[in-house]
A and B are shown apart, each in its own frame.
Chain A
């Protein structure tokens, strides 16, 4: 390869797209490093504090697309106090100054302010795509700036963000000249939007393929929108309530028949069960169905709908579907690859799912590779059966609502069941455990889970050995998050070098002490070891012997961060 001129190598590199492969290319030799960095357009940064923005664009001047993640995963479950960090503003400011031609920004679990959005909208003329997932800190004013200033905007995708509604007409801020939209998702917004502006926007966006509406968009508006956009492939319905005798309802029935290209359906944030029948004609074409926010649909109606969805590959639903319903899924959706079953709020719905539903799915859906399953109970026998039927799992996340519940049939811990999963599923990359578990399960994980990259543990294990099995055995481990387990200083300090091979480690309510964390921080200068001291009354000096309530450590070349709040101590 070294006999080829640079242009030829560049051309070959164009075909190498994945981040991992690109990273590998850059390590081969100096000239490949140089060529790779100049041609790289997409960069993924899994921890925004691992590197500085300056270093990023110095290495990749051709940067067009940036993905950033901020807070640790357990922030989703209220374990990270307010104000921890993850601010995007410094990134946008630095990139704006650097004159990088940013076109795409994807953020997860970051704090995004209206100022950041305004700066973003004004700094990059060719900005095309903004994706915000589980972010907070902004309002509809920030969205108005994006709509108004990004002339070539193709994608505005807001997923599960906390957005303040300032009642401005942000949607009306898209100028008449904006005709480039391909994807618009505002399902998470609570406020009303101008329906007229929405309809006009859809009418002048011939490339619009994905549209996800919020609760405030009523059924009659939906019908008009669908009329204007028969090319839609991905639809999120807001409100689906209408009198079946009404004209709007009758019109909708015929409009839906024209929308042959819809393959992905979500939303139904407000729904009257009798309206569901209008969707049946679309169902046979669906490959993706997300009804996890459709709290108004009862199990029986859900089952009726799913009977029509023969091509489904991805299904997200709530546990009101029940074990019987999962049996129907297993018979109907034989191509199913990804399944998520969420618990109904308030938790502890007596009509929920158990191991029986999962076993049925495993028998009917051999292609299943991703699972998130909230259930009331699980047995070893069921897990062993599932492991045999579905050896292709990449993601296996099981959450038993009673976190330390043993196998109800044998009263044994679930070590053997999960052991079977890791032994059978050699491609497993992500695993979440629950139920009663001893150190034994970690022995299995260390032995068999060779490709495991992310592991989530709660209320499990007996001793430091458990954590050590994992740290020693899982060579590809990148993220480890642990809560309420009896792992302490010995486990933390046995192999300190390991943490530089990982993105991050979270430990909360474990047995780790301040002294051990200090020692770790001292030995490993390229780790930021943060402990959260939430006790305002306590005297500020931390005694070495004191137990640490929450610790988050991550590798970094950026050094200690300067935006940490009072309660975060970087050792």
Chain B
């Protein structure tokens, strides 16, 4: 799976400052000026981050390799069971479904990257931004049994109400005006899937 197209670099763990090359320079005092300050690696001081805004800050924080110094066994095994939110994820055309833990994700773009990785499909991130032009459309079934377009409500609200996810082919929704805010319940029933 070609990494370049998916922009996964943002989530890549790095030892250096994001988007900068590391150059070793000593100033007049012999002090090294390029000491990597933790907060810079953290992304907090990174004013130059382009797209993605708030979510990106959240994603690069806590991604300094090996910090805080908690051993990997402990990291994997200290997660609270109750905070796990596994939902089924289906994708049109895929022979089997997958399960994913919504609790592991910090926001919609994080979720989109994870969906792309799960099914090896492109364009999830684009789909969230611009429903009209993408090949796939992510929808979810909420607590009322309605099928909703992913991305309308705040993330926390989505996490609480999402019972399952489906990645639908845009082509199947042809003729259906995908206004950003709307319920697809009628559509699903009519297709009779």
Contacts and interface: CB of A to CB of B under 8 A. Distances in A.
Interface of A: 74, 76-79, 134, 160-162, 188, 269-270, 292-293, 295-296, 318, 342-348, 374, 399, 401-404, 432, 456, 458-459, 462-464, 483-486, 488, 509, 511, 547, 549
Given A296-B82, A509-B36, A399 B69 contact: yes
B87 to A, nearest CB: 19
Contact of A342 (B30, B31, B70): B70
B73 A511 contact: no
B74 A74 contact: no
A545 to B, nearest CB: 8
Nearest to A484: B36
Contacts of B73: 134, 160-162, 188
Contact of A547 (B24, B70, B71, B74): B24
Interface in B173-187: none
Contact of B80 (A295, A342, A343, A509): A295
Chain A contact residues, majority secondary structure: loop
Contacts of A134: 71, 73
A343 B64 CA distance: 16
A488 B30 CA distance: 10
14 contacts: A79-B66, A162-B73, A293-B74, A295-B78, A295-B81, A296-B81, A346-B62, A399-B69, A402-B39, A403-B64, A458-B69, A459-B36, A484-B38, A509-B36
Looking at chain B, what size class is its interface with the partner chain? Answer: 20 to 34
B190 interface: no
A239 B132 CA distance: 49
B191 to A, nearest CB: 39
Nearest to A80: B66
Nearest to A458: B67
Interface of B: 15, 22, 24, 30-32, 35-39, 42, 61-62, 64-75, 77-82
Contacts of A347: 62, 68, 70
Given A77-B69, A345-B80, 17 more contacts: A77-B67, A79-B65, A161-B73, A270-B81, A292-B78, A342-B70, A345-B70, A347-B70, A374-B68, A401-B68, A404-B37, A404-B39, A458-B69, A463-B31, A486-B32, A547-B22, A547-B24
Given A342-B70, A404-B38, A78 B78 contact: no
Contacts of A293: 74, 77-78
B107 to A, nearest CB: 13
B33 to A, nearest CB: 9
A463 B27 CA distance: 12
B31 A462 contact: yes
Nearest to A397: B69
B62 A459 contact: no
B15 A402 contact: no
Contacts of B81: 270, 295-296
Q: Nearest 10 A-B pairs (CB), nearest first?
A: A77-B66, A76-B71, A404-B38, A295-B80, A160-B73, A403-B38, A486-B35, A486-B32, A459-B38, A345-B78
